[in-house]
Chains A and B, each alone.
Chain A
Amino acid sequence: MARLRTIDLVALAALACYGLAVLPDVPGAVSHIAGSVLCFVLAGVALASAILPTDVGSATRYLGMAACSLSAGVVGGVILNLFPSGLDNFAWVTFALAATLVGWGVVRVRGASGPVEWKRPASPRISWASSAKIVASVVILAAAIGITLSSKNVHEKQFTELWLVPDSPSNSPLHATRAVLGIKSHESETEDFTIVLDTSKQTMRTHVTLAPNEVWTQVVPVDGPKTTASVYRGGITDQPYRTVWINSE
C-alpha cells in the first residue's frame, strides 16, 4: 500500500471542504469557512507543493503558498469568466478543488524523483514568560482593534438631504409627469420635518419624523412648469431648511 503523504491529506481535506462548501444543507458559516480554507489555504498549499523545489526553507515555502494562493485567484477569475456561470461561489470552490487536485497530481508524479514533504516544524519550547508575552500581545492587539472599531468621527457634519428626481428612465425634468420626492436625515437625533410641495397648480404638506439615517420617499405628481419641494425643521418658518425644484418646461 502506498504511503500516505501530507499532500494526500491536503487533497482529502480539499474534497471534504468542497462538499461542505457546496452541499445545500450545510450551515452558512461552516460553508463559508470551508470554501475559504479550500480557496485560500489548500489550493495554495497544493500548488506550492507542485511547483516549488524540494529543498526550500520553511519561510520560502510559506511565501510560495501565499503567492500561489493569490495567483490562483488572479488567474482563476480570468478562466471562470470564460464559462457561462461567470464568477460565483460555486465556480470558485470548483476551480479551487480542481487546482488543488492538479497540484496533488503533479506532486504525486514528481514524487518518483523527489517528493515534497510538508514537514511539521519542531515543537517550540515556550517558557511561561514567553507565553505571557504572546498572550499580552494578543490582548493589546485586540484592544487596538476594539478601540479602532468603536471610535466615532465627531468631525462628521449633521445634515439632511432632500431630493426631487424625475421618475422616468432618463430622469429628465423636461415633460416629467412624476417625480420621486425623498428626504434622509443625518441629524444627531430624531427630528420632525414639514415638507411642502408646490407644483404650481397645487400645494401639499406632509409631516414626517425621521430618526438618524432614516429615509422617507414618495412619488409625487409634476403637473406645472416648475415643481418645488421645501423641507422645514419642525413647523413652517420663514426660511426652508432645504429646497429643491425641477423645471419641466
Chain B
Amino acid sequence: MKHIEVAEPSSGGVGVEDRERDAGTSDTVRRGGRIGIPDAVLVVATAVLLVALAYSRSREGLSFAAPLFWTGQLILFGFVFFRALNPTTSPRERTVLVLLYACAQSVLRWAYSPHDFGFSDELQHLRALDNVLTTHRLFSMNYSLPVSRGYPGLENVTAELAQVSSLGPFGSGVLIASAAHILLAGCVLLLLHEVSQSSRLACVGTVLYLANPHAAYFDTSFIYQTLALPFLVLAIFLAIRFARHEQHRYLSFAGCLACFAIIAITHHVTSFAAIGLLAIIALGTSLFRASRNLAWRLALCAVAGAAVYVCWVLPVAPYTFDYFRIHTGYIIHDLIHWREIKLSLPKLPPGTPWFDRILGPASVPLTLGLIILSIRLTRRRPPLERYFIWLALVSYAGAVATRVIVKNGGEFAGRAFTFTALFTGLAIGAALVSLTPFPASRHHSSPDRPERRLIAAMAVAVVIFLAGITTGVPAWWQRLPGPFWIDSNPSGVDAVGTSEAEWAGKYLKPGTRYFGDVTSLTLLSSLAELDPIFDPKDLYYTERFTPENAELIRAQSAIYVDVDMRMSQESPMTGAYFWTDMGAYVGRPPLPVQYLVKFDNQPGLSLIYDSGYGHFLDMRGGRGSPYG
C-alpha cells in the first residue's frame, strides 16, 4: 500500500519528528502498515453516509434509523481512534485522521438540521448576524441574547462570507462553524504535541478531546464559542512556546496576544476560560521544580491576556461583569453551602434507555481511574505533560462536583467539559498510549500480545466516546432529528413555531415585550426581535385570568402573551415549559387546557393570531384587559 503525501514532516509543528518512542514509526509502517489515507477517507465517508442516512430516515419516519446512527458513529470513532492509537500508523496519517474526524463531525452537525438553524443558541446568533447584514453595523440590540451584542466576532466573519459570496446566512454560518471546528482540532493537535512531544499521544488525545460531550454538536454549532475555542487553544499553545523556546519567543508572545484579542471580540466565557486556564497552568508549573522556569512567562501571558480582554470589555461590553457576577455567584454559593444541598443525580425523563442511564455515571469512575493510571504511568514524562495530567484530575473532579452540587450544574459542567477535555484527553490518551507500546522490541516468542492491549484500549475509548454521546447534546429523545418534542432544544422548534415567529417579525413592532414558553422565547426573540420575559410566575398556572395575572403583565410591561396549546397535550421531557417554571418537574403531566384557554375567554383581550396550535394575544384592550 502506498501512502499519499499530504504533509511533509517538519521541524516546528504537527509534522515534527517525535522523540524516541515514535522514532521507529516509519520503519514499522513500511513493515506492518496495511491501511493508508485513501482507506481512511473511504471509511470515514462511509460512516458519514450511515449517520446521514439515519438522520434522513428518522426525519422520514422510517425504521432502522437508530441502528444506522450507532453503526456509523462507532465505525467513525472506532476506525479513527484505532488508527491513531496503532503504533504502526505514520504521524502524517494520524494528523490526517484527526482532521478527517473533525470534518466528519462538522458534516454530521450540518446533516442534523440541513435547511435551517434549529438550535436555540444558533437562532440567537442568527439574529445578531441578520442585524449586521441589515444595518451593516455592529453592536445592535439582540433581545434573544443581550450579552452577545458586545461580542461580534462570529457575526463579523460570517457576515463577511455572506456578503462577498452568494451564500445566505445559513450556509455562511454552517461553513464558518465547520471551519472553526476543524481549526480547533488542528490547534488541539498542536497544543498536545507541544506538551507531550509525541505525535501519537497528541493525535490520540485530540480524538479523545473531540469525543467530549459538547464537541460533536454544541461546539460545532453556529455559536460564538465555536469560533473562540480554536483561538483559546492557540493562545495556550503560543504561551507555552513563549515560555519554553528561545527561538521566535517574541513572535509567540505577539501571537498569544493576538489570539486573546480575537477571543475578546468573540466570546466572553472563552475569554475568561483562556485567562483562567493560563493562570492555573502558570500556578501549577511554579509548583514543580522542573517547570518552575516556565511559570513567570506563562503568568505574563495570562496577565497580558486579561489586559487585552479588559481593553475590549470596558468600552464595548461593560455589562459582561454583571453577567459573570450573577452566574458565578450561584456556583460559588452552592459550592460554599454544599452541605445544605441535597446531593442527588439528575432525574431522567421517563423512558430513558438503560444505555443512557448507565453510560454517563459509569464513565466518571472510568475516566478518573484512567487519569490516576496515567499519573502513575507517566512519571518519567516531560514536566508539562505530567502537570497537564494532574490538571486533568483536578479539573475533571471539579466539573463532576459542580454537576452534583450546583443547582442546574449539568449545564455548567457540560460547558466546563469543553475546556477540561483538553487535559482529560491528554491524560486518558497518555494512559492508553502507555498501555499499547511500540512492538519493535517484542520478540516473536514473547508472551506479550500488543494486539490484545490495543483492543482493550479501544474498548475503553469506545465506552468514553459513547458516554460523550449519551451525556452530550442533543439528549437521547432528540438524538435523531424529526419528531417534535415540546419545549425541547432543538426538537421543540418546528414549522408551527417558526412560521408564527416569521409572522410576528413581519407584523409586530420590534422590542415589544411578551410572555411565552421556552421555544417561543427563542423563536420570537430571535426571528421577530420581540423582547422576552423569562419568568411568567403563575400566568399559565391559573384556571381563570386573575388580578394577579393582570398585575404581572402590567408590572412587566408585557403587551403579548403567546400560548402554545400543545402544552395541554404533551409533557416536556425536560420537565419545564417555561424558562423559569414554577411547576417544573421531570415526568409531569401536560397543563390542564383551562389554564391556556382562559386567555381566549377573557373579555377585553384580542386574539390576533391563531394557527390551531399557537394562540397569540394582545393584552391591550378595554374592560377586562390588564390595561383596560
Measured CB to CB, the residues of A under 8 A from B are 21, 28-29, 32-33, 35-36, 38-40, 51, 53, 55-63, 66-67, 70-71, 73-78, 81, 85-89, 92-93, 121-127, 129-131, 133-134, 136-138, 140-141, 143-145, 147-157, 159-166, 169-174, 180, 182, 184, 186, 225, 241-249
Contacts and interface: CB of A to CB of B under 8 A. Distances in A.
Nearest to B602: A247
A21 B163 CA distance: 11
A244 B56 contact: no
Contact of A92 (B160, B182, B247): B160
Interface in B575-605: 603-605
Given A162-B609, A162-B611, 11 more contacts: A53-B251, A57-B13, A63-B187, A73-B160, A93-B164, A144-B48, A147-B49, A147-B52, A148-B52, A153-B59, A182-B503
A171 B618 contact: yes
A184 B608 CA distance: 14
B570 interface: no
A151 B60 CA distance: 7
A163 B608 contact: yes
Nearest to A21: B164
A134 B100 CA distance: 13
A135 B39 CA distance: 11
- 6 tightest A-B CB contacts, nearest first: A57-B10, A77-B156, A60-B13, A73-B157, A86-B136, A35-B164
Nearest to A119: B8
Interface in B539-575: none
Most interface-central of A33, A173, A184, A245 (chain B CB within 10 A): A173
A58 B152 contact: no
Given A141-B49, A171-B618, A247-B605, A127 B2 contact: yes
Contact of B45 (A131, A144, A174): A144
B120 to A, nearest CB: 18
B190 A63 contact: yes
Interface stretch (B205-213, B260-268, B388-396, B427-435): B260-268
Contacts of B622: 174, 225, 247-249
A92 B622 CA distance: 52
Contact of A154 (B61, B160, B234, B613): B61
B606 A28 contact: no
B15 A58 contact: yes
Contacts of B295: none
Contacts of A133: 38-39, 41-42
A78 B156 contact: yes
Interface of B: 2, 4-16, 36, 38-39, 41-42, 44-46, 48-49, 52-53, 55-57, 59-61, 95, 107, 110-111, 114-115, 132, 135-139, 152-153, 155-161, 163-166, 176, 179-180, 182-183, 186-187, 189-190, 227, 230-231, 234, 247-248, 251, 254-255, 258, 261-262, 265-266, 481-484, 494-496, 499-500, 503, 507-509, 512, 603-613, 616, 618, 620-622, 625
B495 A157 contact: yes
A154 B535 CA distance: 34
23 contacts: A53-B12, A56-B10, A58-B8, A58-B10, A60-B190, A63-B186, A63-B190, A67-B183, A70-B176, A71-B231, A74-B266, A77-B159, A77-B160, A129-B38, A141-B49, A147-B52, A148-B55, A151-B55, A153-B482, A161-B499, A165-B609, A242-B612, A244-B608
A88 B136 contact: yes
B176 to A, nearest CB: 7
A66 to B, nearest CB: 5
A38 B165 CA distance: 11
B611 A159 contact: yes
Contacts of A137: 38, 41-42, 44-45
Most interface-central of A51, A59, A169, A247 (chain B CB within 10 A): A59
Given A153-B482, A171-B508, A243-B610, A59 B261 contact: no
A57 B625 contact: no
Contacts of B180: 70
Contacts of A145: 52, 107
Contacts of B136: 85-88
Nearest to B39: A133
A66 B507 contact: no
Contacts of B495: 156-157, 186
B606 A173 contact: yes
Contacts of B607: 243-245
Given A122-B5, A157-B494, A246-B608, A86 B166 contact: no
A56 B164 contact: no
A34 B38 CA distance: 31
Given A133-B41, A140-B46, A173-B606, A60 B251 contact: no
A115 B603 CA distance: 79
Contacts of A38: 164
A88 B160 CA distance: 8
Nearest to B155: A77
Contacts of A182: 503
Contacts of B227: 70, 74
A87 B159 contact: yes
Contacts of A154: 59-61, 482
Most interface-central of A35, A155, A169 (chain B CB within 10 A): A155
